[in-house]
Structure 1
Amino acid sequence: MAISKQYLKTKPVCKVTFTVSADEAKKVAVVGDFNNWKANKASALKKLKNGNFKGTLELPKENTYEFKYVIDGNYVNEPEADRYQWNDFAGAENAVLEL
Protein backbone atom coordinates (compact mmCIF):
# COMPACT_ATOMS: atom_id res chain seq x y z
CA MET A 1 0.00 0.00 0.00
CA ALA A 2 1.16 3.50 -0.70
CA ILE A 3 0.10 7.12 -0.95
CA SER A 4 1.61 9.77 -3.20
CA LYS A 5 0.79 13.47 -3.07
CA GLN A 6 1.07 16.00 -5.90
CA TYR A 7 0.36 19.61 -4.95
CA LEU A 8 -0.98 21.75 -7.79
CA LYS A 9 0.34 25.28 -8.22
CA THR A 10 -2.74 26.47 -10.13
CA LYS A 11 -5.42 25.18 -7.73
CA PRO A 12 -5.71 24.87 -3.93
CA VAL A 13 -5.87 21.07 -4.16
CA CYS A 14 -3.59 18.09 -3.85
CA LYS A 15 -3.85 15.06 -6.13
CA VAL A 16 -3.60 12.07 -3.82
CA THR A 17 -2.94 8.70 -5.43
CA PHE A 18 -3.82 5.62 -3.39
CA THR A 19 -2.25 2.27 -4.32
CA VAL A 20 -3.35 -0.94 -2.61
CA SER A 21 -1.78 -4.35 -3.13
CA ALA A 22 -4.70 -6.79 -2.94
CA ASP A 23 -4.27 -9.52 -5.55
CA GLU A 24 -7.19 -11.62 -4.35
CA ALA A 25 -9.63 -8.74 -3.78
CA LYS A 26 -12.62 -8.09 -6.01
CA LYS A 27 -13.38 -4.52 -4.85
CA VAL A 28 -11.30 -1.84 -3.14
CA ALA A 29 -12.43 1.69 -2.26
CA VAL A 30 -11.01 4.54 -0.22
CA VAL A 31 -13.44 6.13 2.23
CA GLY A 32 -13.06 8.94 4.73
CA ASP A 33 -14.01 12.41 5.88
CA PHE A 34 -13.71 13.64 2.29
CA ASN A 35 -16.61 11.48 1.00
CA ASN A 36 -18.75 10.88 4.12
CA TRP A 37 -17.30 7.37 4.44
CA LYS A 38 -19.25 6.16 1.38
CA ALA A 39 -17.83 3.33 -0.72
CA ASN A 40 -19.24 4.18 -4.14
CA LYS A 41 -18.19 4.49 -7.77
CA ALA A 42 -16.31 7.74 -7.11
CA SER A 43 -14.29 6.19 -4.27
CA ALA A 44 -13.58 2.86 -6.01
CA LEU A 45 -9.99 2.08 -6.94
CA LYS A 46 -9.30 0.51 -10.34
CA LYS A 47 -7.72 -2.94 -10.49
CA LEU A 48 -4.49 -3.04 -12.49
CA LYS A 49 -3.02 -6.00 -14.36
CA ASN A 50 -0.36 -6.46 -11.67
CA GLY A 51 -3.08 -7.07 -9.04
CA ASN A 52 -2.81 -3.64 -7.39
CA PHE A 53 -5.74 -1.26 -7.07
CA LYS A 54 -5.09 2.41 -7.80
CA GLY A 55 -7.01 5.67 -7.84
CA THR A 56 -6.46 9.42 -7.55
CA LEU A 57 -8.58 11.98 -5.71
CA GLU A 58 -8.25 15.76 -5.76
CA LEU A 59 -8.60 16.97 -2.17
CA PRO A 60 -8.47 20.53 -0.79
CA LYS A 61 -5.02 21.17 0.67
CA GLU A 62 -4.24 22.49 4.14
CA ASN A 63 -6.69 19.95 5.59
CA THR A 64 -6.48 16.72 7.56
CA TYR A 65 -8.61 13.71 6.66
CA GLU A 66 -9.32 10.43 8.44
CA PHE A 67 -9.65 7.51 6.00
CA LYS A 68 -9.54 3.75 5.51
CA TYR A 69 -9.62 1.32 2.62
CA VAL A 70 -12.60 -0.98 2.15
CA ILE A 71 -11.27 -4.24 0.74
CA ASP A 72 -14.11 -6.64 -0.09
CA GLY A 73 -16.14 -5.16 2.76
CA ASN A 74 -13.32 -5.11 5.36
CA TYR A 75 -11.94 -1.81 6.68
CA VAL A 76 -8.14 -1.64 6.49
CA ASN A 77 -5.72 1.14 7.51
CA GLU A 78 -2.95 2.47 5.29
CA PRO A 79 0.37 1.42 6.87
CA GLU A 80 2.13 4.48 5.37
CA ALA A 81 -0.40 7.02 6.68
CA ASP A 82 0.89 10.35 7.98
CA ARG A 83 -0.39 9.30 11.41
CA TYR A 84 -3.27 7.48 13.12
CA GLN A 85 -6.11 8.87 15.20
CA TRP A 86 -8.57 7.15 17.53
CA ASN A 87 -12.18 7.38 16.37
CA ASP A 88 -14.86 6.73 19.01
CA PHE A 89 -17.57 6.09 16.40
CA ALA A 90 -15.52 3.35 14.73
CA GLY A 91 -14.04 2.11 18.00
CA ALA A 92 -10.67 1.90 16.27
CA GLU A 93 -7.84 3.96 14.89
CA ASN A 94 -8.19 5.54 11.47
CA ALA A 95 -5.36 6.45 9.12
CA VAL A 96 -4.84 10.20 8.78
CA LEU A 97 -3.86 12.09 5.64
CA GLU A 98 -2.32 15.54 6.18
CA LEU A 99 -2.27 17.84 3.17
Structure 2
Amino acid sequence: MKDVVFSLPGEALGTAISAVLLGDFNNWDIDKAIALKPHKDGTLKAKVKLEPGQTYEYRFLLNDGRWVNDWAAQGYVHKQHFGIDNSVITVEEELLVAEKKTKTRATADKAAKTVSKAVKKVAEVVKDDLTKIEGIGPAITKLLEQEGIQNFRDLSKATIKKLKGVLDAAGSKFAMHDPKSWPKQAKLAAAEKWEELKALQQELVGGK
Protein backbone atom coordinates (compact mmCIF):
# COMPACT_ATOMS: atom_id res chain seq x y z
CA MET A 1 0.00 0.00 0.00
CA LYS A 2 1.11 3.55 -0.67
CA ASP A 3 0.37 6.72 1.29
CA VAL A 4 -1.48 9.22 -0.89
CA VAL A 5 -2.18 12.76 0.31
CA PHE A 6 -5.43 14.41 -0.79
CA SER A 7 -5.55 18.19 -0.51
CA LEU A 8 -8.35 20.73 -0.70
CA PRO A 9 -7.55 24.48 -0.85
CA GLY A 10 -9.18 26.61 1.82
CA GLU A 11 -10.95 28.81 -0.74
CA ALA A 12 -12.87 25.77 -1.96
CA LEU A 13 -14.73 25.65 1.36
CA GLY A 14 -16.69 28.82 0.82
CA THR A 15 -18.98 29.13 3.84
CA ALA A 16 -18.18 25.60 5.01
CA ILE A 17 -15.68 24.99 7.79
CA SER A 18 -14.79 21.32 7.30
CA ALA A 19 -14.72 18.54 4.72
CA VAL A 20 -14.46 14.77 4.40
CA LEU A 21 -13.11 12.53 1.66
CA LEU A 22 -15.26 9.88 -0.01
CA GLY A 23 -14.46 7.58 -2.90
CA ASP A 24 -14.02 4.08 -4.23
CA PHE A 25 -11.48 3.36 -1.50
CA ASN A 26 -14.17 3.61 1.22
CA ASN A 27 -17.10 2.58 -1.00
CA TRP A 28 -18.53 6.11 -0.78
CA ASP A 29 -19.74 5.14 2.68
CA ILE A 30 -20.43 8.25 4.75
CA ASP A 31 -19.77 6.24 7.90
CA LYS A 32 -16.24 5.59 6.62
CA ALA A 33 -15.64 9.14 5.44
CA ILE A 34 -12.10 10.39 5.99
CA ALA A 35 -11.88 13.78 7.70
CA LEU A 36 -9.54 16.37 6.20
CA LYS A 37 -7.31 18.15 8.69
CA PRO A 38 -6.60 21.89 8.39
CA HIS A 39 -2.98 22.98 7.86
CA LYS A 40 -1.16 26.25 8.47
CA ASP A 41 -1.11 27.06 4.76
CA GLY A 42 -4.91 27.10 4.75
CA THR A 43 -5.38 23.76 2.99
CA LEU A 44 -7.21 20.72 4.32
CA LYS A 45 -5.46 17.39 3.88
CA ALA A 46 -5.97 13.69 4.45
CA LYS A 47 -3.55 10.79 4.02
CA VAL A 48 -4.95 7.50 2.71
CA LYS A 49 -3.24 4.16 2.04
CA LEU A 50 -4.10 3.01 -1.47
CA GLU A 51 -3.17 0.08 -3.67
CA PRO A 52 -0.45 0.93 -6.24
CA GLY A 53 -1.52 0.51 -9.84
CA GLN A 54 -5.21 1.06 -9.05
CA THR A 55 -7.46 3.90 -10.23
CA TYR A 56 -9.91 5.49 -7.82
CA GLU A 57 -12.75 8.00 -8.15
CA TYR A 58 -13.36 10.41 -5.27
CA ARG A 59 -14.84 13.74 -4.17
CA PHE A 60 -14.87 16.01 -1.14
CA LEU A 61 -18.07 16.48 0.88
CA LEU A 62 -18.29 19.78 2.77
CA ASN A 63 -20.10 20.11 6.08
CA ASP A 64 -22.72 22.36 4.45
CA GLY A 65 -23.76 19.47 2.19
CA ARG A 66 -21.96 20.58 -0.97
CA TRP A 67 -19.77 18.23 -3.03
CA VAL A 68 -16.58 19.59 -4.59
CA ASN A 69 -13.91 18.06 -6.77
CA ASP A 70 -10.18 18.06 -6.28
CA TRP A 71 -8.88 21.11 -8.14
CA ALA A 72 -5.56 19.36 -8.70
CA ALA A 73 -6.93 15.94 -9.69
CA GLN A 74 -5.13 13.84 -12.30
CA GLY A 75 -8.38 13.74 -14.24
CA TYR A 76 -12.16 13.68 -14.07
CA VAL A 77 -14.80 11.20 -15.15
CA HIS A 78 -18.37 12.18 -15.97
CA LYS A 79 -21.14 10.23 -14.25
CA GLN A 80 -24.03 10.74 -16.64
CA HIS A 81 -26.61 9.13 -14.37
CA PHE A 82 -25.93 11.71 -11.67
CA GLY A 83 -24.93 14.54 -13.97
CA ILE A 84 -21.67 15.13 -12.10
CA ASP A 85 -17.93 14.68 -12.53
CA ASN A 86 -15.79 12.71 -10.11
CA SER A 87 -12.11 13.34 -9.51
CA VAL A 88 -9.80 10.50 -10.56
CA ILE A 89 -6.41 9.33 -9.32
CA THR A 90 -4.22 6.44 -10.47
CA VAL A 91 -1.70 5.40 -7.83
CA GLU A 92 1.80 5.00 -9.20
CA GLU A 93 3.32 1.55 -8.86
CA GLU A 94 6.43 2.39 -6.87
CA LEU A 95 7.82 -1.12 -6.80
CA LEU A 96 7.61 -1.50 -10.56
CA VAL A 97 9.18 1.91 -11.05
CA ALA A 98 11.98 0.98 -8.64
CA GLU A 99 12.51 -2.37 -10.36
CA LYS A 100 12.59 -0.67 -13.75
CA LYS A 101 15.16 1.83 -12.52
CA THR A 102 17.23 -0.97 -10.99
CA LYS A 103 17.06 -2.98 -14.20
CA THR A 104 17.98 0.06 -16.28
CA ARG A 105 20.88 0.82 -13.94
CA ALA A 106 22.07 -2.80 -14.09
CA THR A 107 21.91 -2.75 -17.90
CA ALA A 108 23.85 0.52 -17.99
CA ASP A 109 26.47 -0.88 -15.58
CA LYS A 110 26.83 -4.02 -17.69
CA ALA A 111 27.23 -1.95 -20.85
CA ALA A 112 29.81 0.25 -19.13
CA LYS A 113 31.79 -2.81 -18.03
CA THR A 114 31.65 -4.25 -21.54
CA VAL A 115 32.93 -0.99 -23.01
CA SER A 116 35.61 -0.81 -20.32
CA LYS A 117 36.80 -4.32 -21.14
CA ALA A 118 36.81 -3.54 -24.84
CA VAL A 119 38.81 -0.36 -24.28
CA LYS A 120 41.22 -2.22 -22.02
CA LYS A 121 41.63 -4.97 -24.58
CA VAL A 122 42.37 -2.46 -27.31
CA ALA A 123 44.80 -0.66 -25.04
CA GLU A 124 46.61 -3.93 -24.34
CA VAL A 125 47.28 -4.56 -28.05
CA VAL A 126 50.86 -3.48 -28.66
CA LYS A 127 52.23 -3.38 -32.17
CA ASP A 128 55.88 -4.20 -32.78
CA ASP A 129 57.93 -3.46 -35.87
CA LEU A 130 57.77 -6.88 -37.48
CA THR A 131 60.15 -5.77 -40.22
CA LYS A 132 62.92 -6.36 -37.67
CA ILE A 133 62.39 -10.04 -38.39
CA GLU A 134 64.58 -11.24 -41.23
CA GLY A 135 62.38 -12.09 -44.21
CA ILE A 136 59.48 -9.80 -43.27
CA GLY A 137 58.89 -6.52 -45.05
CA PRO A 138 56.09 -3.91 -44.88
CA ALA A 139 53.79 -5.86 -47.21
CA ILE A 140 54.05 -9.10 -45.22
CA THR A 141 53.68 -7.13 -41.98
CA LYS A 142 50.33 -5.86 -43.24
CA LEU A 143 49.23 -9.41 -44.10
CA LEU A 144 50.17 -10.67 -40.65
CA GLU A 145 48.40 -7.79 -38.89
CA GLN A 146 45.23 -8.60 -40.82
CA GLU A 147 45.44 -12.10 -39.32
CA GLY A 148 45.78 -10.73 -35.78
CA ILE A 149 49.56 -11.04 -35.56
CA GLN A 150 50.39 -7.59 -34.22
CA ASN A 151 53.65 -8.04 -32.36
CA PHE A 152 56.65 -10.26 -31.66
CA ARG A 153 54.76 -12.26 -29.06
CA ASP A 154 51.94 -13.05 -31.49
CA LEU A 155 54.42 -14.08 -34.15
CA SER A 156 56.41 -16.27 -31.76
CA LYS A 157 53.25 -18.26 -31.01
CA ALA A 158 52.13 -18.60 -34.62
CA THR A 159 52.55 -22.03 -36.23
CA ILE A 160 54.53 -22.46 -39.42
CA LYS A 161 51.38 -23.90 -40.99
CA LYS A 162 49.40 -20.76 -40.23
CA LEU A 163 52.13 -18.45 -41.47
CA LYS A 164 52.53 -20.47 -44.66
CA GLY A 165 48.77 -20.36 -45.16
CA VAL A 166 48.75 -16.56 -44.87
CA LEU A 167 51.50 -16.26 -47.45
CA ASP A 168 49.99 -18.77 -49.88
CA ALA A 169 46.58 -17.08 -49.69
CA ALA A 170 48.19 -13.75 -50.66
CA GLY A 171 49.48 -15.11 -53.96
CA SER A 172 52.67 -16.41 -55.54
CA LYS A 173 54.53 -13.19 -54.78
CA PHE A 174 54.29 -13.99 -51.06
CA ALA A 175 54.16 -17.80 -51.24
CA MET A 176 57.84 -17.88 -52.20
CA HIS A 177 58.81 -16.73 -48.67
CA ASP A 178 59.76 -19.32 -46.05
CA PRO A 179 58.48 -18.40 -42.54
CA LYS A 180 60.16 -21.28 -40.65
CA SER A 181 62.54 -19.03 -38.71
CA TRP A 182 60.07 -16.23 -37.98
CA PRO A 183 58.64 -17.58 -34.70
CA LYS A 184 62.14 -18.24 -33.35
CA GLN A 185 63.32 -14.77 -34.32
CA ALA A 186 60.16 -13.24 -32.84
CA LYS A 187 60.70 -15.07 -29.56
CA LEU A 188 64.15 -13.52 -29.21
CA ALA A 189 62.80 -10.08 -30.18
CA ALA A 190 59.96 -10.35 -27.66
CA ALA A 191 62.55 -11.10 -24.96
CA GLU A 192 64.66 -8.18 -26.22
CA LYS A 193 67.60 -10.50 -26.83
CA TRP A 194 68.83 -8.36 -29.68
CA GLU A 195 72.39 -9.70 -29.80
CA GLU A 196 71.17 -13.29 -30.07
CA LEU A 197 68.66 -12.23 -32.72
CA LYS A 198 71.39 -10.49 -34.71
CA ALA A 199 73.59 -13.58 -34.53
CA LEU A 200 70.72 -15.80 -35.69
CA GLN A 201 69.86 -13.50 -38.57
CA GLN A 202 73.45 -13.53 -39.78
CA GLU A 203 73.12 -17.30 -40.15
CA LEU A 204 69.91 -16.96 -42.14
CA VAL A 205 69.56 -16.39 -45.83
CA GLY A 206 66.44 -14.43 -46.65
CA GLY A 207 64.80 -15.48 -43.42
CA LYS A 208 65.14 -19.23 -43.99
> Which category of TM-score, normalised to the shorter sequence, fits these structures?
0.7 to 0.9
Give 3-state SS (helix, strand or coil) of 1:34's partner.
helix
Identity of aligned residues (%): 33
| AA at the equivalent of 1:93 | D
Kindly indicate whether residue 75 of structure 2 is the aligned counterpart of residue 87 of structure 1. Answer: no
Give the TM-score taking structure 2 as reference length.
0.38
Match of 2:18 in 1: 27
Aligned residues: 87
In the TM superposition, what is the alpha-carbon distance from 1:28 to its structure 2 partner? 0.7
Partner of 2:30 in structure 1?
Answer: 39
Looking at structure 2, the residues matched to 55 and 84 of structure 1 have their Cα atoms a distance apart, in angstroms, of: 20
Normalized per residue, which structure has more strand?
A: 1
Candidates 2, 15, 19, aligned match of 2:3: 15
Aligned-residue Cα RMSD (Å) equals: 2.0
Per chain length, whose mean CA-contact separation is higher, i.e. which structure has more relative contact order (CA < 8 Å, sep 6+)?
A: 1
1-side partners of 2:25 and 2:81: how far apart? 16
Gaps of 5+ in 2: 92-208
- Give 1 or 2: higher helix fraction: 2
1:54 aligns with 2:45: yes
Larger radius of gyration: 2
Please state how far the C-alpha of 1:27 moved relative to its aligned partner. Answer: 1.8
Q: Distance in 2 between matches of 1:97 and 1:90?
A: 20
Name structure 1 gaps, 5 residues minimum.
1-12
